[in-house]
Amino acid sequence: MKILLLTGPGGDAQGWGDMKVTESLRGAAESLGHPARIAYVQDEPDFFRLVDRPDFDIVWSALYHITPNEAFIGRNAGGTWVADVLDERGIPYVGSDSRTMRAMIDKFETHEILAAAGVPVPAHVLLRPGEDASAVAYPAFVKPICESRSVGISDESVVRDEAELGRRVAYIEREFDEPALVEEFLPGDEYTALVLGNGATREVLPGLVTVEDSHFRNYRILRSDLRGVGLTRISLAGARTEEAKALGDAAAEAMGCLDHTRIDMRVDRAGKLRIIEVNGIPGLKPHKSWSPQIYTLYHGSPLGEDEDHRRLIGAILDAAGRRYGLA
């Protein structure tokens, strides 16, 4: 397969990582016999020039949508979404379809879809400043609806009363121009599951997210300063393995996930796992991103983590290629 690796200013905030990560994907793909090139698109005209004259078999995009914003994802209302355009043109691509991608980027919509399918999620409401918050039970957890990598998360995300809630909702509106997702606070451990492949060959591989206690402050939560700097490590899920597998599989089925997704979950006050996020373009930084760490736990090679990363990239490409009859 000839692969186009699509990225841009938002590639790190939205997708698998920065240009160094993108180059590692190209190297892995080419070592597996797939010619690959990187396209860095600055704006919508750049993107449309690429897709209007395709010289590739399949697109693998780090971008949900085309934006000059490097810092966070945003809602991009009325903007160009990559999967929409590829679907319209019948161009094959790695990952879930446009409907699913849009749902995954909106955590409130994700929660609504999962809850309707009977998949456990935290109790939740969507709030903008000044809206009725009488349904909120405390403590609650407040976050932007469209961000990843714990962007917008700090100890102030845990609110204990209406005044703290109001301040945090206003902060999210001001900083991200997004409504806030207000969830019940889940005090237990965090788990994540790599979902790889499709249909009968889909694997759900769970792990426990670990951070040294000394890095936490008031709450055992993944603040934005703990992500992306190698402080979070994934270990086997132990006694939670089967519960996490079943929950991850149910969530992937309900959302319509394809090829490669990551599903995050956390233990509630009753000791049960609940889904907190479904990530449609998970990070792929060798050794550090959660998907490569999990892949090594389950499919580690004697040749080391670099080889594990190469094989993970191959598994993702094979899953997408088989869907289109390209592999």
Least Cα distance to 103 among 116, 88, 91 occurs for 116
pLDDT for the residue 14? 83
| Bond from prior residue into 129 cis (ω within 30 degrees of 0) | no
Question: Residue 253, Cβ neighbours under 10 Å: how many?
Answer: 13
Between CA 294 and CA 103 the distance in angstroms is 24
pLDDT for the residue 211? 77
Instruction: Find the helix or strand (DSSP H, E) in which 51 lies.
Output: helix 44-52
Q: Please tell me the pTM assigned to this model.
A: 0.92
pLDDT for the residue 11? 84
pLDDT for the residue 155? 84
pLDDT profile of the chain (327 residues), mean per 10: 94 87 97 97 93 94 85 65 94 95 92 98 95 94 82 84 95 90 95 97 96 63 58 91 98 98 96 96 93 97 97 98 94
Between CA 261 and CA 148 the distance in angstroms is 13
Phi, psi (rounded to 5 degrees) for 186: -100, 110
Between CA 206 and CA 189 the distance in angstroms is 13
